[in-house]
Amino acid sequence: MHELPVTESILEIVVKHAKQNQVSRVVSITLEVGELSDLENEWLQHYFDYLSKDTPAAGAELKIQRAPIVLKCRQCGHEFQIRKDELGLSDCPQCGTAGDVSLVSGRQYHIKEMEAL
Amino acid sequence: MEEIKLIEIKENILSDNDEAARQLRQKLADEKTFVINLMSSPGAGKTSLLLQTIERLKNELRIGVIEADIDSVVDAEKIRQSGAAAVQLRTGGFCHLDAAMVKTGLDGIGSKDFDLIFIENVGNLVCPAEFDTGAMKNAMILSVPEGDDKPLKYPLMFTVSDVLLINKTDMMALSDFDTAALRQRVHKLHPEMEILEVSAKTGAGMDQWVDWIRRALENFS
């Protein structure tokens, strides 16, 4: 849905680091994206290829690692992973409390690292 | 042969927007202007609800509206006729508002001259949830015809909102919308979410919503 602005942001950060490290070409970029995001890998790469023309990041491969959704039960403190389609359906697997959780992770959009020449 | 170097980056892709939103919230707090970001699907009744809300609060608060409906001036025109100030942001097909766009709108309307500003975000349950607009509170509208299963399909939206308005309750008799099931699904995702049942058409529940706004404003100032 909003892959375009996200891609612009990725490119900006990558080009900045390419300059700082005085590299001529970026080969790959590793992203960590939370499972709660609706980002589509295929479109992200597509937009990236388009936007990165004439930059040191042209042709770079986006490697997307999905980070799991982790919830924390506020009754017993237990942290547990769930799939997106289980959200709103699962009780705490440790104490059985229904619906008293906070989100620990699953929303992140991080650029972890890049490989460059 | 050149060596491939591994460069650690560790940056948040949305950090620019998060920072812009934080600065905007600070500026608004200094101006004593309270901002509510209104999100929903297209057709859930954002504009009708706003008109009814303005009608009930216009004698006690200076109200402004930032409209982000895609390439249309219809909504902004309706708001202006209600007596509140409105600016139309031309989002040109953009699927959400970010903090920079909201700042343009706030500057355009002159945010310091208002007690309360509503952002009518782009009608969409996916993208607006990801981008902090700089508002103090996020309000979500879910209308009865959309169904009670939406928390399962758009969990992030229900996670980031502070208050949920179930709108078009006047259509409840015509549908199989299960309010108890919806409440349970929402609270499993977000235990603190306040849920209000309203009908912008009949006015039912609107007093509770207006009270929610008054309380939020009291806690703010």
Residues A17-28 have a mean pLDDT of 95
Residues B12-41 have a mean pLDDT of 94
One CATH from 3.30.2320.80, 1.10.150.80, 3.30.1330.20, 3.90.960.10 for A3-116: 3.30.2320.80
For chain A, which residues make up each domain, given as ranges? 3-116
pLDDT of A98 reads: 80
Q: Residue B66's beta-bridge partner residues? A: B87, B119
Average model confidence (pLDDT) across chain A? 90
Chain A's closest residue to B189, CA to CA, is A88
> Is pLDDT at B72 greater than 90 in this prediction?
no
Q: Are A104 and A79 in contact (CB under 8 A)?
A: yes
- Report the residue of B10, B12, B13 to disrupt the A interface, i.e. the one with the largest count of A CBs within 10 Å: B13
Closest CA to B165 of B127, B137, B188: B137
Average model confidence (pLDDT) across chain B? 92
pLDDT of A3 reads: 78
Residues from chain A that touch B152, judged by Cβ atoms under 8 A, are 85, 87-89
CATH placement of domain B15-220: 3.40.50.300
Do residue B7 and residue A85 have CB atoms under 8 angstroms apart? no
Chain A's closest residue to B18, CA to CA, is A109
Describe the strand order of the beta sheet including A69-73 as a list of residue ranges.
A79-82, A69-73, A101-105
Describe the strand order of the beta sheet including A26-34 as a list of residue ranges.
A61-67, A26-34, A109-116, B5-12
- Our CA-based measurement puts residue B151 at a distance from the nearest CA of chain A, in whole angstroms, of 7
Chain A's closest residue to B149, CA to CA, is A88
Identify the band that residue B69 occupies on the pLDDT scale cut at 50, 70 and 90: low
> Is pLDDT at B152 greater than 80 in this prediction?
yes
For chain B, which residues make up each domain, given as ranges? 15-220
